[in-house]
Chains A and B, each alone.
Chain A
Amino acid sequence: MIDFVQNCFDGVMLGSSYALLAIGFTLIFGVMRRLNLSYGPSIMLGAFVGTLVFLEFRAGGLAVAAATVVGAVLVGIYVERLCFWAIRQGAAVASMVSSFAIWMQLEEVVTIAFPDRTYPFPPLTRTEPMDFGPFFFKVENLIMFACAVALTLGLHLLLYRTRFGLRIRAVAENPDAARYMGINIAAVTFLAFACASAIGGIAGYLIVAQDGQITPLFGLWATFKGLIAMMLGGMGSIPGAILGGLLLGVVEAQNIWYLGTEYRDLCAYALLFVFLVFRPGGMFGHTLAERERLALRRV
């Protein structure tokens, strides 16, 4: 029982990083109704910028974090201009395919620029784990969890308390009507994309710092974890992204403990499959009827 509870704690903390990735995904999907597959790779490239700053200047944690976030945002903007701004309305599939092409492109760039593949990344902290009765917590996990909570709250305030957030929600809800209300859709989309990339950059930094190393494969990993967590929660829903991330984290943590690390990703895909079959809209997603109505309105 203690193991099970400990796994839940670990899972929630692991899941908080998935939740952040999923929030970035869902923010982009919510505003544009398009999937940005190169979300993970753009974070990966940001992390390599962080590594570069670390290796070249022996920079400390904060500078590396800043470099990672700035890198992720810049690459994110590049992706937005190329896949989403250049390919306009009504071409959702073209956007998705081109985001896949850019994914490959980003991986190539990294492989050429960083030929050794695996590079060190400064850890968040070297503090020993803390004990609470029978349970123990890694400090970097707690930091990650705290960051996830703070970012989620910040995003909530942005979306529900500011005019910019209102514009994001209006565009997500009905882009056509938003245009008639004088909302500049391209600008809102651009800024929402930048926000999502910044959240992804922070999440990426926290995850990579915990691993202590970065490889080009991180892009694939981040896209899949974020995508699965988002699908579990319901595409376009922020509470869904959080819950989906946490659920994925807890299931993985239990799985690692009871079945072994090698089954970790298999079980993530199995969970996704179960949801796709039995609840394709995710936990917070639209029901099928609602989605059909939305689809009709967008025609």
Chain B
Amino acid sequence: MLDVERLVRKFGAVEALAGLDLSVGDGESVGLIGPNGSGKTTLFNVVTGVYPPTSGNVRLEGRDIGASKPDRIVNSGVARTFQNLRIFERLTVFENVWAAQHRRADVAMRELVFARRAAEHARREEVDGLLELTGLANRRDALAGGLPLPDQRRLELARALARRPRLLLLDEPAGGMTPAETEQMVRLIRDIAIPGRTCIVIEHKMEMIRNLCDRVCVLDFGRKIAEGAPEAVLRDDRVIEAYIGREAPADA
């Protein structure tokens, strides 16, 4: 699904990614952990085309996407959520998801000519279905900017899912949540986000990684320092040192 080879991304003299290798298979869900500044979000930004790689390769389903612009990439089956939320605050919850909905090029022409109303109706139903799944149905017509943080995070998830992604990138989906809210988010991701697609999750909450991911990959200073099954990796000395040595795993 996603192949990253010797990926380097520099900001001035700082190497945010310093030759990262990462390979994520079809349908796999991979956790990405590491101290702040280890390059996790930068990886998401490079994969979604925000920054071009300084050097190295990024391939999505075998195609090189290193030089592609974000709009190209998000239209080829990649969706993401943001650690700092980017919802449309002055649009309603429904409109947020509706705006994100994937355009299906194969039916567009037929829709335009014949079943326009029916197709639009089906799309609206799909949006309502997603709101139902993410527990936002009762906030459907509220302005998104006024929602509490956990609802906004779930809205971002619903919006990303509306893109019908094959690769879903979740950047701290439970950031700033209480343990109860986190648990709800874990269930949500496990039940509706992971099945049938490839996921990469950035998270500081180890419990979450254990619950969600087949494999975990630890970044430090823009490099991969450990990789493997969550249970094994989270006991690894280098991982513990990377976290405990400079900074304890933040629970916020």
**Residues of A participating in the B interface, judged by any CB pair closer than 8 Å:** 163, 166-167, 169-170, 173-174, 176-185
Contacts and interface: CB of A to CB of B under 8 A. Distances in A.
Q: How large is the interface on B (under 10, 10 to 19, 20 to 34, 35 or more residues)?
A: 20 to 34
A173 B88 contact: yes
B99 A179 contact: no
B100 A182 contact: yes
B74 interface: yes
Given A167-B99, A180-B86, A183-B99, A173 B91 contact: yes
A141 to B, nearest CB: 35
A186 B103 CA distance: 17
B95 A181 contact: no
Contacts of A170: 88, 91, 95, 99
B70 A180 contact: yes
Interface of B: 48, 70-71, 74-75, 79-80, 86-91, 95, 98-100, 102-103, 120, 159, 163
7 contacts: A166-B99, A169-B91, A173-B89, A174-B87, A181-B74, A183-B71, A185-B71
- Binding site of A, secondary structure by majority: helix, strand, loop or mixed? helix
A179 B91 contact: no
A29 to B, nearest CB: 15
Contacts of B91: 166, 169-170, 173
B90 A180 contact: no
Contacts of B102: 182
A178 B87 CA distance: 9
Nearest to B156: A177
Nearest to A293: B89
Given A170-B88, A173-B88, A178 B70 contact: no
Contacts of B70: 179-180
Nearest to B99: A170
Contact of B99 (A176, A178, A185): A178
B99 to A, nearest CB: 4
Given A173-B89, A180-B86, 17 more contacts: A166-B91, A166-B95, A166-B99, A169-B90, A173-B90, A173-B91, A174-B87, A174-B89, A177-B87, A178-B99, A179-B70, A179-B74, A180-B80, A181-B159, A182-B100, A182-B103, A185-B71
Contacts of A180: 48, 70, 74, 79-80, 86
A234 to B, nearest CB: 14
Given A166-B99, A167-B99, A182 B88 contact: no
Nearest to A167: B99
A295 to B, nearest CB: 14
Interface centre among A167, A177, A179, A185, by most B CB within 10 Å?
A177
Interface centre among A174, A176, A180, A183, by most B CB within 10 Å?
A180
Contacts of B48: 180
